[in-house]
């Protein structure tokens, strides 16, 4: 048995602040074990929030509004218009849930990361592990939501299946950026700023009506925020109208993931490996 | 002498302080620890013990000097060194969301050990820490002493070559302390090198083969517990109390009795080779202490002498 241990732990170079041990899965596994004892009410409420929006607005407002034109030019029912947006929102909510408040508590009130970084794990393992775990919840929410869309006939084209990897990307992006931002927050008041950004982003990102209702300069602001890119990407897939612009949306998220990872890792290093 | 497992030379650590000159936490430490040895770091609060432990534990980068752990420089082999160490930090950092057994299991996973090995080790270490009946308890539901025992057990999950213990028995009841000492002796017998800090002098005498006394980041003395007592203290100590108001005043008249007189807030210590004789001379002066006690010199006296302060402030 000692032989196994020697084999597993020997031979990794790098300074005290070395970044990577190639073992983020241990951190993900820790999240999964901890989740077993977490409250299922909270988990379920996060899932049902967008479902309730879809049911109330899609059916209620949908009856008044009729059809809406997407940015891709397709005329779709109101429910089919907001459903992909709500799918992006549910991926975002799930990812944000674990990467902000939960991480904030671990950073400030527990010494979890200090313990992790006293092992052979590096800060990038911890950051990536926590982010991967956070995006899992987003993925589960979104997959559940897609089933509901399918049942209500809101997936209009076969390309809707591509919404799943897109959701993964979106959840990854939000988890990554969410954790980076959280790692710089020191008090509860700071954490409120996150909600302050999230709510308007949810309301204005072409979620509930087309972005064209705004003057151009407002559109520019909306487009600077991540959710709009997610909404457009997924709406393209579920309505079956693909465009080259989707490449930009994907790129936006790739950059967001990278930026989030870099800053989270930097911060972890500064906090726990000085 | 076999090659040292830890070698520190002129080890130094400074912390940046906003708007002021850098704060020197560890100034100039040089020491060696031999394989299988049990090495103690003593010193008053803020002496730099934990800072030194963190540098040895390869989670803090030294500012200057050289450091070698198991023949490796932490500046180049941080993760590799960490993978061979067991660490018991001054403040428990157990995973509050997991139960006791899960804490052990997942810690092994952090080291990259296979799940099967982690399961076996978790059970073995629960027995070691006598926490089998608490295996499924959340960490938050454990008593302070139980948490401490779990932290120590967790530090052993990777069969470390060196175990770093920062005040391992603070907060333990006497029974638990003795159990822990016994466990540490057993580890030592198996060849594990122990490096520990403590504020309990009896513990240092029990556990340490050799120790250094540190103050303000510098070494004040080094040696085995008995040699330190011989060098830095008299054979016996007479403790007399006159009440906190009078101690200071009386102390002046005691000059010349014994080798040295030390005034503490609550009592006066007279260092002498013959405590009874010293007490007779004090009573002959017409002074009548409220209480008096003659005892053998201990590490605590060495400590007081060297640092000029009581250990537990
Ligand atoms: N991260 C830090 N930043 C700035 N100063 C620090 C930091 N960590 C420790 N210090 C300072 O360095 C000095 C030594 O601290 P250290 O924790 O090593 O003391 P110690 O010997 O372990 O004391 P104790 O017996 O109280 O545990 C203290 O003055 C402390 O304030
Ligand atoms: Mg300390």
ipTM (interface predicted TM) = 0.85
Is residue A3 situated within a structural domain?
no
Is residue A12 situated within a structural domain?
no
Q: Domains of chain B, with CATH numbers?
A: 6-229 (3.40.50.300), 234-297 (3.30.70)
Measured distance CA(B63)–CA(A50) in Å, rounded: 53
* 3 state SS of A6: helix
**CB B49 near ligand 1, within 6 Å:** yes
Q: CB A110 to CB B82 under 8 A?
A: no
β-pair type (B218-223, B210-215): antiparallel
For B51, the enclosing helix (H) or strand (E) is helix B49-56
The overall average pLDDT reported for chain A is 87
Measured distance CA(A147)–CA(A83) in Å, rounded: 11
Q: Is 70 exceeded by the pLDDT of residue B109?
A: yes
Q: Is 60 exceeded by the pLDDT of residue A6?
A: no
Measured distance CA(A181)–CA(B2) in Å, rounded: 50
Is residue A4 situated within a structural domain?
no
Q: CB B109 to CB A29 under 8 A?
A: yes
Is residue A241 situated within a structural domain?
yes
B116-144 per-position pLDDT tens digit: 999 999 999 999 988 999 999 999 899 88
Q: Is 50 exceeded by the pLDDT of residue A178?
A: yes
For A87, the enclosing helix (H) or strand (E) is helix A78-99
Q: Which of residues 183-222 of A touch B (CB under 8 A)?
A: none
**What confidence tier does A13 reach under pLDDT thresholds 50, 70, 90?**
low
Closest CA to B74 of B87, B89, B55: B55
pTM of the model: 0.86
pLDDT of amino acid A10: 47
Q: Which atom of ligand 1 is nearest to the CA of B90?
A: 27
Is residue A58 situated within a structural domain?
yes
The residue behind tokens 């070691």 is B128
Is residue A146 situated within a structural domain?
yes
Is residue A179 situated within a structural domain?
yes
**CB B22 near ligand 1, within 6 Å:** no
What are the φ/ψ torsions at residue A238 (nearest 5 degrees)? Answer: -75, -25
User: Which residues of B sit within 8 Å Cβ distance of A?
Assistant: 15, 57-61, 74-80, 82-84, 87, 89, 91-98, 102, 106-107, 109-114, 117, 120, 138, 158-159
For B282, the enclosing helix (H) or strand (E) is helix B275-284
pLDDT of amino acid A5: 47
**CB B224 near ligand 1, within 6 Å:** no
**CB B47 near ligand 1, within 6 Å:** yes
In angstroms, the Cα distances linking B255 to A194, B300, B308 are: 68, 22, 18
Q: CB B158 to CB A118 under 8 A?
A: no
- DSSP track, B145-197: HHHHHHHHHHTTTT--SEEEEESTTTT--HHHHHHHHHHHHHHHHTT-EEEEE
Containing structural domain, residue A43: 21-272
Residue B50 Cα to ligand 1 middle (Å)? 7
**What confidence tier does B266 reach under pLDDT thresholds 50, 70, 90?**
confident
Q: CB B89 to CB A33 under 8 A?
A: no
Q: How many domains does chain A have?
A: 1
Is residue A13 situated within a structural domain?
no
The residue behind tokens 């079956």 is A240
β-pair type (B210-215, B38-42): parallel
- Partners of A172 in the beta sheet? none
* 3 state SS of A212: helix
């Amino acid at each position: 048995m000692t032989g196994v241990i020697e084999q597993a732990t020997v031979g990794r170079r790098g300074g005290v602040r070395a970044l990577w041990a190639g073992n983020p899965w241990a951190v993900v596994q820790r999240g999964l074990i901890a989740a077993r004892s977490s409250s299922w009410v909270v988990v379920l409420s996060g899932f049902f929030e967008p479902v309730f929006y879809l049911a109330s607005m899609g059916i209620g407002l949908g009856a008044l509004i009729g059809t809406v034109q997407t940015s891709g030019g397709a005329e779709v029912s109101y429910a089919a218009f907001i459903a992909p947006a709500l799918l992006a929102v549910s991926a975002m909510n799930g990812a944000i849930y674990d990467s902000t408040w939960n991480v904030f508590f671990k950073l400030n009130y527990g010494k979890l990361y200090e313990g992790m970084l006293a092992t052979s794990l590096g800060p990038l393992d911890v950051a990536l592990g926590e982010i991967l775990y956070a995006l899992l919840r987003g993925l589960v929410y979104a997959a559940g939501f897609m089933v509901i869309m399918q049942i209500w006939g809101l997936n209009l084209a076969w390309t809707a299946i591509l919404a799943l990897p897109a959701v993964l990307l979106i959840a990854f992006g939000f988890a990554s950026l969410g954790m980076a931002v959280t790692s710089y927050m020191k008090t509860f008041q700071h954490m409120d700023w996150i909600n302050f950004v999230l709510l308007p982003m949810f309301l204005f990102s072409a979620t509930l009506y087309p972005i064209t209702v705004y003057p151009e300069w407002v559109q520019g602001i909306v487009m600077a925020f991540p959710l709009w890119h997610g909404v457009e990407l997924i709406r393209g897939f579920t309505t079956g109208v693909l465009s080259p612009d989707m490449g930009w949306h994907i790129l936006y998220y790739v950059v967001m993931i990278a930026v989030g990872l870099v800053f989270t890792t930097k911060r972890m290093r500064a906090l726990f490996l000085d | 002498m076999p090659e040292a497992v830890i070698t520190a030379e002129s080890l130094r650590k400074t912390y940046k302080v906003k708007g002021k000159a850098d704060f020197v936490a560890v100034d100039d430490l040089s020491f060696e620890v031999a394989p299988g040895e049990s090495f103690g770091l003593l010193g008053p609060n803020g002496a730099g013990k934990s800072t030194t432990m963190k540098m040895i534990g390869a989670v803090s980068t030294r500012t200057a000097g050289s450091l070698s752990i198991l023949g490796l420089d932490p500046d180049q082999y941080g993760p590799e060194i960490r993978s061979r160490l067991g660490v018991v930090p001054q403040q428990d950092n157990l995973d509050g969301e997991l139960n006791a057994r899960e804490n052990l299991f997942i810690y092994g996973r952090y080291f990259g050990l296979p799940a099967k090995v982690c399961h076996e080790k978790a059970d073995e270490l629960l027995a070691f820490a006598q926490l089998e009946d608490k295996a499924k308890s959340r960490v938050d539901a454990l008593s302070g002493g139980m948490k401490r025992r779990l932290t120590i057990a967790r530090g052993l999950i990777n069969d470390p070559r060196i175990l770093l213990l920062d005040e391992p028995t603070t907060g333990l009841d006497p029974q638990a302390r003795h159990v822990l000492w016994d466990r540490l002796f057993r580890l030592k017998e198996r060849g594990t090198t122990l490096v520990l800090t403590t504020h309990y002098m009896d513990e240092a005498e029990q556990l340490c083969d050799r120790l250094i006394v540190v103050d303000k980041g510098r070494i004040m003395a080094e040696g085995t517990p008995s040699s330190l007592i011989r060098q830095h203290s008299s054979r016996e100590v007479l403790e007399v109390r006159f009440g906190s108001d009078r101690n200071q005043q009386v102390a002046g008249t005691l000059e010349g009795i014994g080798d040295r007189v030390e005034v503490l807030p609550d009592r006066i210590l007279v260092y002498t080779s013959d405590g009874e004789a010293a007490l007779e001379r004090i009573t002959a002066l017409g002074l009548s202490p409220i209480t008096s006690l003659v005892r053998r010199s201990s590490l605590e006296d060495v400590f007081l002498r060297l640092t000029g302060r009581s250990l537990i402030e």
